[in-house]
A = this chain, B = another copy of it.
C-alpha cells in the first residue's frame, strides 16, 4: 500500500439520496426519520457512507438499492455538500444524488420497514442538517432536466395516459399547462407512442395509453416540453 498523500487529512464521505416519485398528481420525495446519532429522530434523507471500494455513483446506486430493492434506477449527482458544521458529530462531506422512481414499483412493505414516507415537494418539513438545501437543489435540477430530456417517464409506469404525463409536468413546474398545446407538442415527438391499450381507471370514457420508445428516441433525440 503506497501512501502518496499521507501528510493530508482524510474525511468521512457519505451519499444522500433524494428519491422522487409522482403520485396523486404531486411530485413527492421519500423521507424518513434519522436512526443514528447525532440527530436521531429528525426528518432526514436516506444516506450512507461511501466505501473505499466503490465509486460515488456506485455508492449511490447501492444505497438506493438497499432501501428500495430497485436496480438500474435513473440517478444523477446533485453536488457535494461540505460545510464544516453540516454534521453535528464529525466532519462529514456528503454527495447528494437524486433518483426518479415509479412509485408503483416500490414495495410498500419496505416503506413500512424503514419508516419512510412520501411527502409532497411543496410540504417538505424542516429536515436534518442541510437536507432541505439538497432537496431544493435537486428539485431545480430535475425541473431543468425534464425540459430538455425525456427523463420524466422514469416517474411513470411504462404505459401512461397523456393526462398523467401532463399532470407530472404541471407538478414539477408548479403551473398549469394548456391541454391542447401540450398534446400538440407530444404529437410531434414520435418516440411517445400511442398504444392500443386504454386506461379506464381515470375516467369513464377511458384514455389511450402511451409508451416512451427509447430506441426510437435515440434515432431522433429531440425532446422539449
Which A residues contact B (CB, under 8 angstroms)? Answer: 2-5, 8-13, 36-38, 49-57, 59, 77, 79-84, 89-93, 95
Contact = CB atoms under 8 A, between A and B. Distances in A.
A42 to B, nearest CB: 14
6 contacts: A4-B36, A5-B12, A13-B93, A55-B82, A80-B95, A82-B95
B82 A79 contact: no
Nearest to A86: B55
A22 B57 CA distance: 34
Given A13-B13, A79-B77, A95-B82, A89 B53 contact: no
B89 A2 contact: yes
A49 B13 contact: no
A191 B209 CA distance: 50
Contacts of A55: 82-84
A52 B12 CA distance: 10
A95 B80 CA distance: 7
Q: Which of A5, A56, A91 has most B Cβ within 10 Å?
A: A5
Given A2-B90, A11-B52, 15 more contacts: A2-B89, A4-B89, A4-B90, A8-B12, A8-B49, A9-B52, A10-B11, A11-B11, A11-B13, A50-B82, A50-B93, A55-B82, A79-B79, A80-B80, A80-B95
A12 B77 CA distance: 19
A80 B83 contact: no
Contacts of A10: 10-13
A60 to B, nearest CB: 10
Contacts of A90: 2-5
A56 B80 contact: yes
Highest count of chain B CB atoms <10 Å: which of A80, A82, A84, A95: A80
Contacts of A12: 5, 8, 10
